[in-house]
Copies of this chain bind each other. A is one copy, B any other.
Amino acid sequence: MPVTGRTGLAGFTDLALESGYVFEEMHIAYETFGTLNAERTNAVLIEHALTGDAHVTSGVAEPATAEHPSSFAPGWWEEVIGPGRPIDTDEFFVVCANALGGCNGSTGPTTIHADGLPYGSRFPALTVRDLVTAELALTDRLGIESWHAVIGGSMGGARALEFALLAPERVRKATVLAAPAYSDADQIAWAHTQIQAIALDPDYCGGDYAALGRFPAAGLGLARQIAHLTYRNDVELNHRFANAHQFPRPAGAPDTYYSIQSYLDHQARKLVHRFDAESYRVLTAALRDHDVRRGRHSDLAEALAGARSEFQVIGISTDRLYPPAQVAELAAALPGTVTHHTIESWAGHDGFLTEGQKVGRLVRGFLEG
């Protein structure tokens, strides 16, 4: 397999957010796979989800740095992206950037501020449009006039959609996967519980735990468990775990310890080891506030009328975070050429990741069409 992966870190100055806050200096970490053609027409931007990162597929990331070790490790969309795969890195120049506010190389709450301490609670509130604004700056930096496609699922779908609205002429095709036009009450509610879980942890320290050498692991873990339950479907969980007890019972576990508890505790531990709590809070709030209508038009179709891309909109049949009806509402309101699919899967929202073959086939067809 040819080594096609590269990492990059792009620095920007005076990046203004929707709120008016200005980052005097900020960085976006990204990875690229494949080669940009001479006409610069084969670039595809992949937008990751809430706790995703730029490592979308394997391939050595080079040049290696302490922050960005070379990695043949599988990426989070390994099935979908790579040489000969649906999004073919032999054909496309694939770029994936760590979201602004994240904790995998881009400027976020754990970044050291000019005063030598982490941003922590001083990190500004972000919107999905702010994340896209940063990615537009990266687009310029990479010398890409127009993306052949911008593709993302979940928060990545919201970013893809906003990208197509903020820069209509710079996105030929956009795939919005398992994401709606706006967060509705139910999604805002689940975000509310997660943000409270993090803040409830005595180690949260109002967001300034990093400067104090603390970390709200239990709070972030609980937030993740709540989120994870919205990412999966009850039918699948009941089938996989039923009310079986975990055996053998781990040391320190309570007397009654079910397999589903063990599974959720495992999900919590995994996230806590790889993700920052304040990044989670900031990005959860950004997604909670996602609404393409804001500042455009209260009518959804009118708000979307400025888009010029060809759209592919994909829902998951059992998604209980973004139910297919809400995804269908977006598809129906988009202008121009819109292809709408609902993937039959029992994986719930996480189907955008776990149903890589089905997603890959659909996206491949869309890119070729």
Q: For the complex, give the distance between the alpha carbons of A202 and B258 in Å.
A: 25
Q: Which residues of B contact A219 (CB under 8 A)?
A: 200
With A192-B260, A197-B200 in contact, do A185 and B237 touch (Cβ < 8 Å)? yes
Within 8 A of B (CB), among A311-369: 320, 323
Find A222's partner among B125, B190, B196 (CB 8 Å cutoff).
B196
Offer 18 A-B interface pairs, CB within 8 angstroms, sorted by A: A184-B234, A184-B242, A185-B241, A185-B242, A188-B243, A189-B261, A192-B258, A192-B264, A193-B225, A193-B229, A196-B225, A197-B222, A200-B201, A200-B218, A234-B320, A243-B291, A256-B285, A256-B288
Give the size of the chain A interface in residues (CB under 8 angstroms): 42
Contact A226 B193 (CB under 8 A): yes
Closest to A294 in B: B243
Q: For the complex, give the distance between the alpha carbons of A52 and B121 in Å.
A: 40
Closest to A221 in B: B196
Number of copies: 2
Instruction: Name A residues whose Cβ lies closer than 8 Å to a Cβ of B.
Output: 125, 182-186, 188-190, 192-193, 196-197, 200-202, 218-219, 222, 225-226, 229, 234, 237-238, 240-243, 255-256, 258-261, 264, 285, 288-289, 291, 320, 323
Q: How far is the CB of A286 from chain B (nearest CB, A)?
A: 10
Q: How far is the CB of A209 from chain B (nearest CB, A)?
A: 14
Contact B222 A185 (CB under 8 A): no
Closest to A255 in B: B125
Q: Which residues of B contact A202 (CB under 8 A)?
A: 202
Closest to A201 in B: B200
Q: For the complex, give the distance between the alpha carbons of A323 and B125 in Å.
A: 37
Find A196's partner among B125, B188, B218, B285 (CB 8 Å cutoff).
B218
Q: For the complex, give the distance between the alpha carbons of A240 and B225 in Å.
A: 26
Q: Which residues of B contact A241 (CB under 8 A)?
A: 185, 188
Find A258's partner among B185, B201, B222 (CB 8 Å cutoff).
B185
